[in-house]
Amino acid sequence: MGNNVEWDWKIDHKISLFNWNLKEIWQYKDLLMRFVRRDLIANYQQTILGPFWILLQPILTTITYYIIFGRIAKISTEGIPPLLFYLPGIITWSYFSDCLNSTMYTFLQNSTLFSKAYFPRLIVPLSNVVSHTVRMLVQLTLFIVIYVVYVLINHSAHISPAIILLPFVLVLTAAFALGTGLLISVITARYRDLDYALQFILRLFMFATPVIYPASIVPAQLKTLFWLNPLTPAIETFRTAFFSTNNLEIQPLLIATLLTIIILIAGMAFFKKLETKLMDII
């Protein structure tokens, strides 16, 4: 057989860190959409309320936050109605948390599937992000409806030019979750007891993110570290877009973008590098 034969795919023990073969992922786009459809259907089968949980979850969470942090702890919402203050943080955090949790268990939850058939393993975490994006868009629609009702009642809108950055910050959130989740998926596949520590850290990380409080109340000595969290400029930009109470923080958003790109590249590189070896471990 001649050396000039082109193979559709080949198995090689040497895998480059940056050989992601994104063209192959595009070839399996139909499989990706099937996984998305499976996730959306499976999550609400045998439930009483079905997909209505997508809307009910942020509403119940907002009411809880309002009672605990608004009425009892009396944390400032900077003059923004509590419902409209908490929802951007809840939507953004839930989107990040859902994408991260589903991605970080890629190998553990799909080991049987990975061992039976070949397809680009990145298809699974990407399908998780896409399915959670669909849920997030439904919740975002809920927020917009509530905001429109608020504007009609108060006859005043506070939309700022930052609203054009809203799609960008949502993509930034997804990229941050995907990159972090890919890195963690490699670690948890090897060391499964780290799951407990990671879940605890994730809960603490929520309080380091301005979900229930504005960035303005953070002490000056902690602001640098606070703004290094990519979710901080994402949530603050979200709020500024609809309530121009603060100036848009461009520099932290640029830094968050750079950090997210680095994390995403690192996550994809190590995921692709170790995806074959990890199958022998799990």
Tell me how far apart the alpha carbons of residues 227 and 55 are, in angstroms, rounded to a whole number: 29
Residue 60 scores a pLDDT above 60: yes
Residue 257 scores a pLDDT above 90: yes
Tell me how far apart the alpha carbons of residues 190 and 107 are, in angstroms, rounded to a whole number: 10
Residue 273 scores a pLDDT above 90: no
Residue 4's pLDDT band, with cuts at 50, 70 and 90, is low
Residue 159 scores a pLDDT above 90: no
Q: Please, what is the average pLDDT of the chain?
A: 85
Domain housing 142: 51-281
- The arithmetic mean of pLDDT across residues 234-261, rounded, is 89
Please indicate, yes or no, if residue 107 is contained in any of the structural domains.
Answer: yes
Tell me how far apart the alpha carbons of residues 187 and 14 are, in angstroms, rounded to a whole number: 20
Tell me how far apart the alpha carbons of residues 272 and 274 are, in angstroms, rounded to a whole number: 6
Which amino acid does the sequence have at 117?
A
Please indicate, yes or no, if residue 148 is contained in any of the structural domains.
Answer: yes
Please indicate, yes or no, if residue 245 is contained in any of the structural domains.
Answer: yes
Please indicate, yes or no, if residue 12 is contained in any of the structural domains.
Answer: no
pLDDT of the residue at 19: 65
b/e per residue 254-269 (b: at least 16 CB within 10 A): eebbebbeebbeebbb
Q: Greater confidence, 6 or 202?
A: 202
Instruction: Please provide residue 243's backbone torsions phi and psi, each rounded to the nearest 5 degrees.
Output: -140, 95
Please indicate, yes or no, if residue 18 is contained in any of the structural domains.
Answer: no
pTM of the model as a whole? 0.88
Residue 211's pLDDT band, with cuts at 50, 70 and 90, is very high
pLDDT of the residue at 253: 93
Q: Greater confidence, 119 or 145?
A: 145
Please indicate, yes or no, if residue 23 is contained in any of the structural domains.
Answer: no
Tell me how far apart the alpha carbons of residues 265 and 19 are, in angstroms, rounded to a whole number: 11
Q: If you average pLDDT over each of 3-12, 17-26, 89-98, which comes out highest?
A: 89-98
pLDDT of the residue at 271: 86
Please indicate, yes or no, if residue 120 is contained in any of the structural domains.
Answer: yes
Please indicate, yes or no, if residue 20 is contained in any of the structural domains.
Answer: no
Q: Greater confidence, 12 or 120?
A: 120
Tell me how far apart the alpha carbons of residues 129 and 136 are, in angstroms, rounded to a whole number: 10
Q: Greater confidence, 193 or 145?
A: 145
Q: Greater confidence, 170 or 250?
A: 170
Q: How many domains does the chain have?
A: 1
pLDDT of the residue at 121: 84
Q: pLDDT per residue over 10-57, tens digit each? A: 555 555 555 667 788 888 888 889 989 888 887 776 666 667 888 888
Which amino acid does the sequence have at 33?
M
